[in-house]
Amino acid sequence: MKKRLLVCDDEEPIRLLLTESLQDIYDIVEASNGKDALSLALREHFDLIIMDIKMPQVHGLEAIERIREKDKRIPIVIISAYRPMEDDIIVKTSNVAAFITKPIDISALRAKIFELIGE
């Protein structure tokens, strides 16, 4: 059985890109905002979460904190147009497994996810 990934980005082309890039190995569930991502993550089981930061309703960083309250172990990969130290986007690295800046190198992303959860 394929491992399940939650992909959360408010940009529809990015979600599509991630799905197209990863769906050959993993089951992908998409969420278009932080709120949906949070409720999905709290309700269902995922092996890894890919999360954008700047999102409507619930900000990516807030969603991560809320998920961490319940699940300390699930690997979370951030994909963001910002750099980790840019502006107020200072990420608690202990909370996330990887921080990948946009634009994304798809092979590198696949390798990182494979490293974290395998196939």
Partner 1 sequence: MMTYSKRGLNIASPGYLVALLYFISNIIFYFIPETKFSRPVVTFAIFLTDVIAISLAIYLAQGMQTDFYLIYFLIIFIASVGQDLRGSIPIAIVASILYGWLLLRANPGISILDSAILIRIPFIFIVSIISSYWSTEIRRELTEKKELENFAHRLEQEIARMTAEEIDLKSYHDTVINSVASGVIAVSSDGVITTINPEAARVLGTSRSALMGKNIKDIDGLEPMWQKMQEVIASSTPSDRVQVAIKNAHNETIPVGLSVSPMSSLNHSISGCVGILRDLSDIKALEERLRHAERLSYLGKMASWVAHEIRNPLTAIDGFSQLLAKTREPDKIKAFSVEIHRGTKRINHIIDDILTFARTKTHIKADDIDLRQLMTQITENMGNVRIFISGDVNTRIKGEEESLKSLFNNLISNSIDAMDKDPKLTIKFCRKDQWLVTEMADNGRGMSAENIKKLFTPFFTTKSRGTGLGLAIVKKIVDDHGGKLEIESEEGKGTTCRVYLPAGDK
Contacting positions for partner 1 (CB under 8 A): 10-11, 13-14, 16-17, 20-21, 33, 54-57, 81-82, 86-87, 101-107
- The Cα–Cα gap between 53 and 81 comes to 8
Tell me how far, at minimum, the Cβ of 104 lies from partner 1, in Å.
6
Structure tokens belonging to residue 74: 């699930």
With residue 75 as reference, give the H or E element that holds it: none
CA 34 to chain centre: 10
Q: Which is nearer to partner 1, 69 or 87 (CB)?
A: 87
Q: Which is nearer to partner 1, 42 or 106 (CB)?
A: 106
Tell me how far, at minimum, the Cβ of 72 lies from partner 1, in Å.
28
Q: Which is nearer to partner 1, 24 or 119 (CB)?
A: 24
Tell me how far, at minimum, the Cβ of 13 lies from partner 1, in Å.
4
**DSSP-based three-state secondary structure for 33:** coil
- The Cα–Cα gap between 53 and 91 comes to 10
